Amino acid sequence: AQSVTQLDSHVSVSEGTPVLLRCNYSSSYSPSLFWYVQHPNKGLQLLLKYTSAATLVKGINGFEAEFKKSETSFHLTKPSAHMSDAAEYFCVVSGGPGGFKTIFGAGTRLFVKA
Amino acid sequence: KAGVTQTPRYLIKTRGQQVTLSCSPISGHRSVSWYQQTPGQGLQFLFEYFSETQRNKGNFPGRFSGRQFSNSRSEMNVSTLELGDSALYLCASSEGQASTDTQYFGPGTRLTVL
């Protein structure tokens, strides 16, 4: 069975400060992990994905995430927040026999203050 | 390449009616997945099709069904609509059926059931 938990429903940061969005997962298989972003009234866009290669994954717009198997975590970070980063972020796990059944986390809404 | 397209973008139906939503994947993509997004339940997996075969199904009642055509285009149908079916329905396509494949999302169809 697979599950994914995003530990914060809302995160608020000031522009120029670091961003940390937390995600824990559970999977009976070697998971593929993704972070997607959804801006208001726009579709979901892939930020980055982990597929059992390097544990530190770099994505678009300066985001990166580190896969930590011992902690079953896949936290998303960015050194310096920009106003345009305000959006909802989803951590996603997929994998398993018979193809991928994708599980989305509940989402974390990121607010960026000027 | 053109992205994933979904039609219609908006729909208003009344309880008891049925509805069909359409999804055209990115050219060359053979896998299509459907998701329901609501404020209360978040993003939930409906089903996944690959080469016209349903490979995975989420925990939704039988009123929700889908199919995929030989050109990879997909439709989903909801019969006997209920108020709770009001949601954003998202379609995603990917090249293959591996859990590592990136899913590309369409803009969604906003269904309102009155």
Asked if the Cβ–Cβ distance from B99 to A100 is below 8 Å, we say yes
Of A43, A49, A51, the CB nearest to B108: A43
- What is the C-alpha R_g of chain A? 14
Whether the bond into A97 is cis, omega within 30 of 0: no
Residues 6+ apart with CB under 8 A from B5: B23, B24, B106, B107
Q: Is the pLDDT of residue B60 over 90?
A: yes
Residues of A with CB under 8 A from a CB of B: 31-32, 34, 36, 42-46, 49, 51, 90, 94-96, 98-107
Give residue B34's pLDDT: 96
The size of the A-B interface in CB pairs under 8 A is: 59
A87-94 and A103-104 strand pairing = antiparallel
| Cα angle B95, B71, B46; round to 5 | 65
Distance from CA of B111 to the nearest CA of A (A): 14
CB contact under 8 A, A32 and B45: no
CA-based end-to-end distance of chain A: 42
Provide the β-strand partners of residue A100: none
**Given a cut of 60, is residue A100 above it in pLDDT?**
no
In tens, the pLDDT along B12-56 reads 999 999 999 999 999 999 999 999 999 989 999 999 999 999 988
Cβ-Cβ contacts under 8 Å for B35 (sequence gap 6 or more): A102, A104, B43, B44, B45, B46, B89, B90, B91, B92
pLDDT in tens, A37-94: 999 878 899 999 998 778 899 999 999 999 998 999 999 999 999 999 999 999 999 8
* Residues of chain A contacting B48 with CB distance shorter than 8 Å: 99-102
At A62, give phi and psi (nearest 5°).
Answer: 80, 5
Site of tokens 């285009």:
B73
Report the residue of chain A nearest B49, measured CA to CA.
A99
Helix, strand or coil for residue A10? Answer: strand
B113 CB contacts (<8 Å, ≥6 apart)? B13, B14, B15, B81, B82, B83, B84, B85, B86
